[in-house]
Amino acid sequence: MKTLSENACFGGTQGVYSHASKATGCDMTFGLFMPSEAADGPVPVLWYLSGLTCTHENAMTKTGAQGWAAEQGIALVFPDTSPRGDGVADHDDFDMGQGAGFYVNATQAPWAPHFRMWDYVTDDLPQLLGAHFALDMSRQSITGHSMGGHGALTMAMGLPGRFRSVSAFSPIAHPTSSDWGRKQLGGYLGKDESAWAPHDATLLMQSRGFDGPVLIDQGADDQFLDLLQPEALAAAIAKRRQPATMRLQPGYDHSYFFVSTFMEEHVAFHADALYA
C-alpha cells in the first residue's frame, strides 16, 4: 500500500492510498477519513459508494461527510467506482467501462479480468483496511449515491450480518427493468437474467429484505427519476413491511448539492446503528 496524500481534517486525517488489488488485478485508489478517536482504538466504519463517472475523490471532496463523521467518531471509506489503467477495458459510453463498475463481478469479455468490484468492496479492500488501520470491522454500515446507492443496497441485502445499517441517495433501484441497468447488467453479466437478480435492490427487497434500519432519500426533481425507478423499491418495501424510511425531497435533483444537504442526517442515522 502506498500513501498518496494525508491531510488534517476536522481533527482527524483524510488520506488517499493506492494498492495492488487481488480482486481487480490492477492498482486501486481509495480515500479514508480517520477521526481523532482512532488514536485511542478502533473506530466503526461507514462505506460510501459513489456513482457513475466518479472516482474516490468526488464524494471525498463534495459531500462534507468528514465533519459529520468526526462528530460521531466514525471512519469513512471512499472506494473507487471501477478498476482503471491502460490494460483495463473501457467504453466510449459513460455508463460502461472505467468509472462505471456497477459493483458487480463481471463474467463477460472484455470486462471479466478486472471488473470485480463486488469482491473488491466486500473482500479485498476490507482485508486491507483491517490490517493497516485502527478500524473496528465488526461495526460497519454502508451508503452510496446513484450507482453507489444501488451497490450499497445490494451489498447490504446480499451479505446478511455484514452491515448494521444501509442508506442511499437516489439509488438505481430496479435496474433489471430499467434502460439504465439492463445495458450494464447484460454487458457485465451476460444474457441470463437470473444472474442479474442479486444486483437489483427491488428484487432483493422482495426476496430477502434487510435485517436493520434503512434510509433512502430521493430528489423529486431528479433528472434521472424514470431511470432510477424509486417507486418500484417503495412498493417492495411496503409489500414486505420492511422497516424503512424513504423520502422524496421536493426541489432536489441528482447532484452532490442534494447529497451534501442530507449527509448530516445519513451519518447520524448510521451512528445510531453503529453505536447501538
pLDDT at 110 over 90: yes
SS3 category, 72 = helix
Query: With pLDDT > 90 as the criterion, what percentage of the chain qualifies?
Result: 99
Q: What is the mean pLDDT of the chain?
A: 98
List 174, 254, 266, 270, catalytic entry? 254
Predicted confidence band of residue 180 (pLDDT cuts 50, 70, 90):
confident
Structural domains in the chain, CATH included, are 2-274 (3.40.50.1820)
- Contacts of 5-13 with C-beta under 8 Å, sequence gap 24+, read 9/33, 9/66, 9/70, 10/35, 10/66, 10/67, 10/69, 10/70, 11/35, 11/36, 11/70, 12/36, 12/38, 12/66, 12/70
Query: Catalytic: 18?
Result: no
Tens digits of residue pLDDT in 32-77:
999 999 999 999 999 999 999 999 999 999 999 999 999 999 999 9
List 146, 165, 170, 178, catalytic entry? 146
List 80, 124, 200, 222, catalytic entry? 222
Angle, alpha carbons 155-157-158 (nearest 5°): 60
Tens digits of residue pLDDT in 53-63:
999 999 999 99
Query: Catalytic: 21?
Result: no
Query: Catalytic: 222?
Result: yes
Beta-bridge partners for 9 = 12
Q: Which three cell numbers stand for residue 173?
A: 433501484
pLDDT at 179: 86
Q: Which three cell numbers stand for residue 119?
A: 469482491
Mean pLDDT of 245-252: 98
Whether residue 171 contacts residue 151, with contact meaning beta carbons closer than 8 Å, is answered with no
pLDDT at 137: 98
Q: Is-cis flag, bond preceding 175, omega within 30? A: no
